[in-house]
Amino acid sequence: MGEISSFTGVFTSMKNYIEKVIKIPFSCIVFLISIFLMFNPKLLSLIGINKWFPNQIKEIVLKIGQLFYSNMFFVSIGFVLFVLVLFGITYLPTEKIFPKDVELVNGKIKSWNSFSAFSTGINLFVLYLTTWWTYYFFINVLFNKNGFNHNFFISDKSNALYLNMTNSIIHSGYISSLNLLFMNIIFYLNIFITAYFIVQRLYQDIYILPKNSIKYNSIDTYFEYNSKVLTNSSDEETKIAILRYKHWDEAKYLLVKIPLTKNTFEWERWQQKEVWKLRKIPPAKKSIYIVLEDKELTNVIYAFDNFK
């Protein structure tokens, strides 16, 4: 028990660190490590990871995985039927059966509803095919002695009879040919998901948009009635404009300011010192700050004319 609790502690610490620093789901990292080890079996022997855990613990872990994934194809069908039943229940008048909503002290509402059950069912099914499956795949790459790493992939030319006779995973009774084929499909599904999270991590930028402001990339959704450019004592330019949202049914006008240039403190290589330089603000970093919002265009025009 001490070894299990120690391993659990290390696992939790690694998971929290990776998701906080790398900002990619821990299961995706585990999946990538699994693939790397699968195609580098000599590394597994070199590390000697099988010696780190007692045989009894390895067998228990594999059996727990088998309990949920030995018939993965039929379990997945069961999940789909279960979710469809939950979806059908959403059309029933369940509000007469469930308790009424309760408002908690912290302002949250505790609600009983069939949509919550439907959402939970979908989330469990997604976890079964992705996060939990990657852990199952990982422990098999590490501990399975039925030639899992060499016989996991099914070639297009393989037939069921040939597989049953030659594939050691199937021949040992560990998994059926149908479920191994289904796992191959799930493998490529998780490849796609992992690639998505990596691309998202590389290119996605999360920032806090200031209050009373609009993202600059939404400027095309506004009509511009009038504008002018003001320059302050530091030669920084700011655009002042009157905007109206194109899709508002009710007329609403905005007086906004958009910084165009900004002084930055930069190191000047030729002068060997830091100097102020006036730089244009790139579109990706521009913000539109709302100065005034009014239904009356005349009020906004007055503010625009007097803005200095």
Residue 157 and residue 233 in one domain: no
Q: How high is the pLDDT of residue 107?
A: 59
Residue 114 and residue 220 in one domain: no
Domain range enclosing 263? 213-306
Q: What is the pLDDT along the chain (308 residues), one digit of tens a residue?
A: 555 555 566 667 777 777 777 788 888 998 998 999 888 877 766 666 666 766 777 777 778 888 888 888 888 888 889 888 888 887 777 767 777 777 666 556 677 777 788 888 898 999 999 999 999 999 888 877 776 777 787 765 555 445 555 677 777 777 877 888 888 899 999 999 999 999 888 877 665 545 577 777 777 778 888 888 888 888 888 888 888 876 665 667 888 888 888 877 666 666 556 666 778 888 777 788 888 888 888 888 888 888 87
208 located within any domain: no
Q: How far apart are CA 23 and CA 245, in angstroms?
A: 36
Question: In the 8-state DSSP scheme, what is residue 155?
Answer: -
Q: How high is the pLDDT of residue 161?
A: 47
Q: What is the pLDDT of residues 158-207, one digit of tens each?
A: 554 455 556 777 777 778 778 888 888 999 999 999 999 998 888 776 65
Residue 127 and residue 222 in one domain: no
- Dihedral (CA of 78, 80, 83, 84) sign: negative
135 located within any domain: yes
239 located within any domain: yes
- Output the six-digit token pair for 305: 């004319």
Among candidate residues 203, 226, 257, the one where a domain is terminated: 203
Q: How many domains does the chain have?
A: 2
Q: How high is the pLDDT of residue 232?
A: 85
Q: How far apart are CA 44 and CA 142, in angstroms?
A: 8
Question: What φ, ψ does residue 231 adopt, rounded to 5°?
Answer: -120, 130
Among candidate residues 157, 173, 203, the one where a domain is terminated: 203
Neighbours of 240 (CB within 10 A): 18
Number of separate helices (H) and strands (E) present in the chain: 12, 9
HSE-up of residue 302 (Cα within 13 Å, Cβ side) = 6
Residue 35 and residue 118 in one domain: yes
Q: How far apart are CA 18 and CA 4, in angstroms?
A: 21
245 located within any domain: yes
Question: What φ, ψ does residue 40 adopt, rounded to 5°?
Answer: -135, 65
Q: How high is the pLDDT of residue 268?
A: 63
Residues 6+ apart with CB under 8 A from 88: none
Residue 74 and residue 190 in one domain: yes
Using alpha carbons only, give the angle 251, 253, 254 rounded to the nearest 5 degrees: 155
Among candidate residues 173, 203, 233, the one where a domain is terminated: 203
Q: How far apart are CA 52 and CA 55, in angstroms?
A: 9
Residue 156 and residue 237 in one domain: no
HSE-up of residue 173 (Cα within 13 Å, Cβ side) = 0
